[in-house]
Structure 1
Amino acid sequence: MRARLILGLAVAVSGCGHLSNIRAFSTDYLEPSAGEIARLRVVTNGMVRGVPASDCIDWRVPGAGVMAVAKSGFADRNNGRSLGMPAGSWRLDEPNLASAELKVPAGKPFTLNFLSEGYGSAGRSRSCRQSYRFVPKAGQDYEVVFYEAGGCVVALRRLYEEGWTEAGPMEKAGLCRMTDAL
């Protein structure tokens, strides 16, 4: 009887797509093992998850997962990872800030999802939940900043040894399936 109950609950949860959503918080982003790449520094005071080779949020895509997260309790193997990229526009020694430098597939859309929960003055809840996509160019270095400070800050910059330039606006991204809402 107990086995049937557990099996029934597992089927009910998986039927709604919830298992892949939970996985999206506990699985680290995996870098591509072949093909052309770009390098991406992710800077955040929340959680940034990535979906390679997709122009929408789909946590079932191989390699999709957490790129950087400022709070413990989630996948954070990538936090603090350095590939020796040029300096960016943000001080990386700020408290409550996470960063990671990762390889991403070039020439294909790459979708980023930002989640941040916090509390402002008088205990009012505030949050950022945003998804964007862009197409990294092979051999280029980028820095993406997702920051919540009373409002959502989103910036994408292309890095050079001499400095950085705005890489242009990222496009808003949506869900591939409604079950990927988390």
Structure 2
Amino acid sequence: MLIAGLAFAVSGCGNISNIRAYSTAYVEPASGNTARLRVITNGMACGVPGRDCIDWRVPGAGVMAVSESGFADQNNCRSLGMPESNRRVQAQELARTELKVPAGKPFAMNFQSEGHVSAGYSYSCQQTFRFTPKVGQDYELILLDGGQCLVALQRLNPTGKPENEPVEKAGLCRALDVF
């Protein structure tokens, strides 16, 4: 009985931080070196500035874009005047927004979609990853769930061809945040 109570108490802490991640909007840096990031998604994209792991307690961490209403109201189409890419994304109910992110520091992200049922199978998508934006650069990040998880990052170049940028797997900063 004691073990069950302890497990419930510990899991509650993690659940509170996860709820915060869904109800708190990402906060752009007010100063310092920045890059611009366009996020296009049919799920929920959350960012953690200055970290190479997922930690919803970091100031500024939160929802960047989400295709459904009710989650930190980040499903608007905001433009910072970034150049268009050559990619065409065809999916319904996409959230698309452009935000400033800190540059020269790691930036961790979490992408997840709700479960879908297709041909009798249920699937959902959850990816955690990180990258380090370069100062003054523009990036486009496509996060889609269409039966398979798609995470595609490009650095946009207004005078030339966009370049694919690698992303690396990111874990949790604290193991107990999984509960």
**TM score, norm. by length of structure 2:** 0.87
Which of 106, 111, 134 pairs up with 1:109?
106
The equivalent of 1:62 in structure 2 is: 59
Structural mapping, 1:1-182, within 5 Å = 12=9, 16-77=13-74, 79-91=76-88, 94-162=91-159, 164-181=161-178
Q: Any idea what SS the aligned residue of 1:16 has? A: helix
Q: CA deviation at 1:17?
A: 3.0
**TM score, norm. by length of structure 1:** 0.86
Instruction: Confirm or deny: 8 A CA contact 2:85 2:162 kept in the other structure.
Output: no
How many residues are matched? 172
Q: Any idea what SS the aligned residue of 1:88 has? A: coil
**Which deviates the most, 65-74 or 47-56?**
65-74
Provide closer, same or farther for how the CA distance between residues 41 and 176 of structure 1 changes in structure 2, counting only shifts above 3 A.
same
Percent identity among equivalent residues? 64
Q: CA deviation at 1:168?
A: 2.5
Provide closer, same or farther for how the CA distance between residues 25 and 146 of structure 1 changes in structure 2, counting only shifts above 3 A.
same
Provide closer, same or farther for how the CA distance between residues 164 and 61 of structure 1 changes in structure 2, counting only shifts above 3 A.
farther
Q: Deviations over 1:109-161 (max 9, x none)?
A: 00110001232423421111001101000000000111111101111101122
Q: CA deviation at 1:48?
A: 0.3
Unaligned residue ranges in structure 1 (runs of 5+): 1-11
User: Considering only aligned residues, what root-mean-square deviation do their CA atoms show, in Å?
Assistant: 2.2
**Which deviates the most, 121-130 or 63-72?**
121-130
Whole-angstrom distance in 2 between the partners of 1:93 and 1:167:
19
Q: CA deviation at 1:15?
A: 6.0
**Which deviates the most, 18-27 or 134-143?**
18-27
Q: CA deviation at 1:167?
A: 3.5
**Which deviates the most, 120-129 or 39-48?**
120-129
Q: Deviations over 1:48-78 (max 9, x none)?
A: 0000000000000000000000112211236
Unaligned residue ranges in structure 2 (runs of 5+): 1-8
